[in-house]
Amino acid sequence: MTAGLELDPDQREELARLLAGDTLGALLQKWSRFVTAVERGYDDSIYEYTNDLSVRDRLERVIACASPGLRAQLEGVLAAEDKRFEAATEEAARPLGVAYTGWWWRRVPLRRVGELAQDLRDQS
């Protein structure tokens, strides 16, 4: 998942500091797996859905703290997954979390099944 990044040694060091023990590959893979689940029809609870959304928050915090060159590369790597997520979701009636500002917190799956479908109906 990090194949699109060509980092110089300073950028590698900066990224390691920003990730604080996580790996970029692991975070990107979690986001990608979540997007795939949303495309197929996310059926876990609203609590699991919002927990999975928080991975994108973590990636956004890394991007926000990165230098301009690293930020551009990270945004480029995330762009395709974000586009897939947008295509598999629609605007929610209201944000799923009060304290969260990322656009992804205002998106719900087009294919609502199982527990998530019921949870979203209950919130209406």
Domains of the chain, by residue range, sit at: 9-123
Give the pLDDT mean for 68-94: 94
Residue 91 has pLDDT above 80, yes or no: yes
Which amino acid is residue 101, in one-letter code? T
Measure CA of the first residue to CA of the last residue in the chain; give whole Å: 37
**How confident is the model over 8-36, as pLDDT tens digits?**
888 888 888 777 777 888 899 999 999 99
Quick check: 120 and 111 in contact, CB under 8 A?
Answer: no
pLDDT at 2 over 60: no
80 is written with which tokens? 């395709």
**Helix/strand/coil for 33:** helix
Does residue 64 register a pLDDT over 70? yes
Tokens of 27: 């975070």
